[in-house]
Amino acid sequence: MKKIEPTIIKETLYILVCVVILSVLMEAVFLFIRRWDYTVLLGNLLTGFAVTLNFFLMGLGVQKALGKDEKEAKKIIRLSQVYRYLILIVFLVIGVVFSCFNNWAVFVPVVFPRIAIAIRPLFNKKKGVQEVVGDVVPQESQEETKEQIQENTAQLEQQDVEE
């Protein structure tokens, strides 16, 4: 079995933590409006697990696609999406059909990963630019690269003129 990339594990963990925090918030809201019972908790657990699994499987699909050429990568991702949708449909239908799951608690966690991604820039700002961008190229080497590109372009133009 191929080793899972650390980036995928890191991002899935981030999504998992955010889903857990938002789930706790949702439970608190249900408690506040006095609608909380065990069905809310079960529905929340079911869909929270489903969306996190969906994100992890998407990561695995992306990892599998990265080593391939463009057309094959597209096919792999589309196939992965179909399978992930089927898995989600199964979870959501179970949540709706069985009365031991609260309908609201089943559907609301579907948007949690989107919220987690929306609030991500807030955490990245604190870390600083260097960590977010990754390997930042120093200003001097950037200028050197620009000069090299200009030289190469000039050489190519000369070759074209000679031809």
Partner 1 sequence: MLELAVGIILGCCALGAGVAMIAGIGPGIGEGNAVAKACEAIGRQPECKGSVTSTMLMGCAVAETTGLYALVIAILLIFVAPNMLVNILLGVIG
User: Taking CB under 8 A as the rule, does residue 134 contact partner 1?
Assistant: yes
Task: Please enumerate in sequence order all residues whose Cβ is within 8 A of that of 113, keeping only pairs 6 or more positions apart, or say none.
Answer: 15, 18, 19, 51, 52, 54, 55
Query: Which residue's structure tokens are 């650390």?
Result: 6
Query: Which one of the spans 2-10, 16-24, 34-42, 154-162 is the region binding partner 1 (CB under 8 A)?
Result: 2-10
Interaction mask 67-106, partner 1, x per CB under 8 A: -xxxx-xxxxxx--xx--x--xx--xx--xx-----x---
Q: Distance of CA 93 to CAs 32, 54, 88, 98, Å?
A: 27, 15, 8, 8
Contacts of 16 (CB under 8 A, 6+ apart): 52
Q: Which of residues 5-34 bind partner 1 (CB under 8 A)?
A: 5, 7-8, 10-11, 15
Contact flag: residue 125 with partner 1 (CB under 8 A): no
Q: Are 111 and 50 in contact (CB under 8 A)?
A: no
- Contact residues: partner 1, CB under 8 A: 5, 7-8, 10-11, 15, 55, 58-59, 62-63, 65-66, 68-71, 73-78, 81-82, 85, 88-89, 92-93, 96-97, 103, 107, 110-111, 113-114, 117, 120, 133-135
